[in-house]
């Protein structure tokens, strides 16, 4: 199985901050990488697919980059509604997808 | 409005069985591949099972293979997960997820989840 490792596991930031979350795959996955946001008690919501494509309806302050084994999710200016847990997910070995362990983004 | 509504969760003893259902509306269910993804309390996301749009291709995670069975009924816009020989470690919120990649974009829909608790 392809292992996905996110860093950091948790992060404290303030409204207006620029935040970057990284995700590393245990092998090359080309650009088969999605990013999700999950709030407590809710289902995950797709933010970015194919490493850098913004899902319809997602604010442009979210962006993704990377290919191969190293990927990043950037939030350019944190808004109050962005405090949540973020997961990367590889679809290279679809349908046997795997997720990172999550990054909890908290208010400083 | 796209909706995926799971049902069938609950409390079951180890070794017991449950059948989860997922009712779809607001999109062409028969065109979408479907998955079950679970999340243990306070933990991350784990893919459980996949079924193609026509049911011709099915996959399971090693952790549930031989115990869980995925199926769908496109005429009823419904997805199912039959769970047998349940273990404590199967305790989780179970989400159904629909996925379609087309020329019009990438579509990814999730239900609100149903909680399965395996405990004596």
In a mutational test of the B interface, the residue from A97, A99, A102 whose CB has the highest number of chain B CBs within 10 Å is: A97
Q: How confident is the model at residue B103 (pLDDT cuts 50, 70, 90)?
A: confident
Question: Which residues on B lie below 8 Å from A9 (Cβ)?
Answer: none
- Going across the sheet that includes A70-75, the strands are A4-7, A19-25, A70-75, A62-67
Q: Hey, are the CB atoms on B44 and A45 less than 8 Å from each other?
A: no
The pLDDT assigned to A64 comes to 98
The pLDDT assigned to A108 comes to 87
Residues 6+ apart with CB under 8 A from B97: B4, B34, B35, B36, B37, B108, B109, B110, B111
Q: Which of A42, A44, A50 sits opposite B45 (nearest CB)?
A: A44
Quick check: A92 contacting B, CB < 8 Å?
Answer: no
Q: Are the CB atoms for A62 and A48 separated by under 8 Å?
A: yes
pLDDT digits (tens, 9 = 90+) for A73-86: 999 999 999 999 99
User: B101: which 2 tokens?
Assistant: 């990649």
pLDDT digits (tens, 9 = 90+) for A4-42: 999 999 999 999 999 999 999 999 999 999 999 999 999
- C-alpha to C-alpha distance for A52 and B40, rounded to whole angstroms: 29
């Amino acid at each position: 199985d392809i292992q996905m490792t996110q860093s950091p596991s948790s992060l404290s930031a303030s409204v207006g901050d620029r935040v970057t979350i990284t995700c590393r795959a245990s092998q090359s996955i080309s650009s088969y990488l999605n990013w999700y946001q999950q709030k407590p008690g809710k289902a995950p919501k797709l933010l970015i697919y194919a490493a850098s494509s913004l899902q319809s309806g997602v604010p442009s302050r979210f962006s993704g980059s990377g290919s191969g084994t190293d990927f990043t999710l950037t939030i350019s200016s944190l808004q109050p509604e962005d405090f949540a847990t973020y997961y990367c997910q590889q679809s290279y070995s679809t349908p046997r997808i795997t997720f990172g362990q999550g990054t909890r983004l908290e208010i400083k | 409005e796209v909706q995926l509504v799971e049902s069938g969760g609950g409390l079951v003893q180890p070794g017991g069985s449950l059948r989860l259902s997922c009712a779809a509306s607001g999109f062409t269910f028969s065109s979408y591949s479907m998955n079950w993804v679970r999340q243990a309390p306070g933990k991350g996301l784990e893919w459980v099972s996949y079924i193609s749009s026509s049911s011709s291709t099915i996959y399971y995670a090693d952790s549930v293979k031989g115990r869980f069975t995925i199926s769908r009924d496109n005429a009823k816009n419904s997805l199912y997960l039959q769970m047998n020989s349940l273990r404590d470690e199967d305790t989780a919120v179970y989400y159904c997820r629909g996925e379609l990649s087309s020329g019009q974009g990438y579509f990814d829909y999730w239900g609100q989840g149903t909680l399965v608790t395996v405990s004596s």
